[in-house]
Amino acid sequence: MISKKHSLLFAFGFFGALALTAQEMPKQTMKQDNTPDIPLTNAKNSKYQFTIIKDNGASSVKNQNRSGTCWCFSTQSFLESELMRMGKGNIPLSEMYVVHNMYLEKAINYVRYQGHAQFGEGGEPHDVINAVRDFGIVPASVYRGLPDGDSLPVMGEMDNVLKAMLDEINKLHDGKLNPNWFKAFQGALDGYMGAVPAEFTYEGKTYTPQSYAKSLGINPDDYVEITSFTHHPFYTKFALEVPDNWAGGQVYNVPLDEFHQITDNAIQNGYTVEWGADVSEAGFGAKKYSLAIVPQVDIGNNTASGVKDSLFLNPVAQKEITQEIRQQAFDNLSTTDDHGMQITGMAKDQNGDEFYIVKNSWGKIGYCSGYFYVSAPYFLYKTTSIMVNKNAIPANIRKKMGL
C-alpha cells in the first residue's frame, strides 16, 4: 500500500506535525478501556458535531515517518486491538520485525522473477499475517529495526541500495545465480536494520518469535481480506490487482452493500478493521481537517481556500456511491492502493450521516491527534480492501463466502 502518486505522503507524518500549534492539536488521551478520547468535531471552528456510536480499543498513534510501511503499521495496530479484544492487554508489537522479514521474502521473489516483480517498501495486510505465520512476532521493545540514534524509520536509502544490489545479482555475471547472493543481501539488510532475534527474554520469560506469537493466541487463519468489485464474480477469491500485492494474496469479493454490512457489523461487535484506501481525492483531508468526505460539490473545482475550507467545516450533502461508480474509479485508476489505516469506531454527525473513526500512522497530527473521521460514502468509494477477523462477518454473508 503506497502508490507512486503518493510516494511522498508518508513524509508528512514527521514534518507535518511541526506546523500545528498547541491550540490546533489538543492532547489525545486514552481511556481506561484503551479507546481514544478524541474531539467530537474535526477542526477548530468546524460546525461538525459527532456522536460516537461505537469505539473500540486501540494502541497509541505511531509514526511511520519517511517509510512506505503503512501496510505494516496499520495491520500491527489492528492485531494490537485484537489482543485487547481477546483480553491480552495493550501490547506494542514490532513493525520493523515484520518489515525485515518481508524484505527477505520480497528479495527471494524478485530474484526468482528475474527482476520482473515488485520490490520496495510497500506491501499488503496479508504480508503481516503471513509473517506471523512463518516467522512469529516480537514485542516492539525487543526489536526496533532502526540504526543507532534514530527514533523513527527512514527507508529511502536502504530501499534503493537493496534494490540496486538485487538488480546487479540478477545480471548473472557468472552465467548463473551466485549461491551466496541471499547471504550477501541479508547482510546488507541487517547492516541497516539489525539482525532479528532468534530468541529473547520478555517480562521474565524466554521466547522465540514463534513461541511468543503462540503465547499471544493470534491465529493467522482467523483473518481475511475483503473487497467489492465487479470485474470478478462475487463470493469468489482473486488476487487484487495492485502493484504492492507482490505475494499474490487473495481477497474475498462481495457486493457493496454486504461490504458495508461487514464493516459495520465488525465495529459494532467490538472488532476493528484494517483499511486500505486511495487518499488522493480532494476530499481526503486527514492532515488539515481530520476529515474525509465525498461532497456532491466537486472540491477539485473549488480552489479558493475559503470555499474549500467551508466544505470541510460545514456538514454537506455527499454523493451516493453505487457499485458502478466504485468500479469505474478502480478501472480508470483514479482509485489506487495508496495507504493502510485502521478503523476503530463509528460515529454520526448532527444530520445522522455515518462516519468511521480512523487511526492513522502519520504521528499525532491534526485536530484529532492522529485520528480522523471518514464518511461512509468516502469509504464505499475509495476503499481497495479491508481485513477483518472472519468471526466479525455476519453469519449469512460468511456462509455465502464459504467461510
Q: Which whole number is the average pLDDT over 188-213?
A: 98
Which 3 state secondary structure label does DSSP give 265? helix
User: pLDDT tens digits for 308-332?
Assistant: 889 999 999 999 999 999 999 999 9
- How many whole angstroms from its chain centre is CA 384? 11
How far is it, in rounded angstroms, from Cα 9 to Cα 13?
8
- Average pLDDT in the chain: 92
Q: What are the pLDDT digits (tens) for 355-372?
A: 999 999 999 999 999 999
Residue 306: pLDDT band with limits 50, 70, 90 = confident
pLDDT over 90 (residue 181)? yes
> Which pLDDT does position 253 carry in this prediction?
98
Q: Using alpha carbons only, how large is the chain's radius of gyration in Å?
A: 21
pLDDT (average), residues 294-314: 81
User: With pLDDT > 90 as the criterion, what percentage of the chain qualifies?
Assistant: 87
**282 C-beta neighbours (distance < 10 Å), count:** 16
**Sequence spans of domains, the chain:** 4-401
Distance from C-alpha of 275 to C-alpha of 358, rounded to nearest angstrom: 9
Mean pLDDT of the region 129-135:
98
167 by DSSP, 3-state: which? helix
User: What average pLDDT does the segment 187-192 reach?
Assistant: 98
* CATH superfamily, domain at 4-401: Cysteine proteinases (3.90.70.10)
User: Residue 280 has which C-alpha cell?
Assistant: 488522493
| DSSP string covering 266-329 | HHHTT--EEEEE---STTEETTTTSEE--BSS-GGG--SHHHHHHHHHS---BPPP-HHHHHHH
Q: Give the pLDDT of residue 302.
A: 62
Can you give the pLDDT at residue 113?
A: 97
Cell 521474565: give the residue: 204
- φ, ψ of residue 130 to 5 degrees: the values are -65, -35
pLDDT of residue 18 exceeding 70, the answer is no
DSSP β-bridge partners for residue 343: 273, 358
Residue 301's pLDDT band, with cuts at 50, 70 and 90, is low
Give me the pLDDT at residue 35, please: 72
Q: What mean pLDDT is predicted for residues 250-257?
A: 98
pLDDT of residue 307: 77
pTM across the whole model: 0.92
pLDDT digits (tens, 9 = 90+) for 69-97: 999 999 999 999 999 999 999 999 999 99
What is the number of residues in the chain? 403
Beta-ladder partners of 201: 206
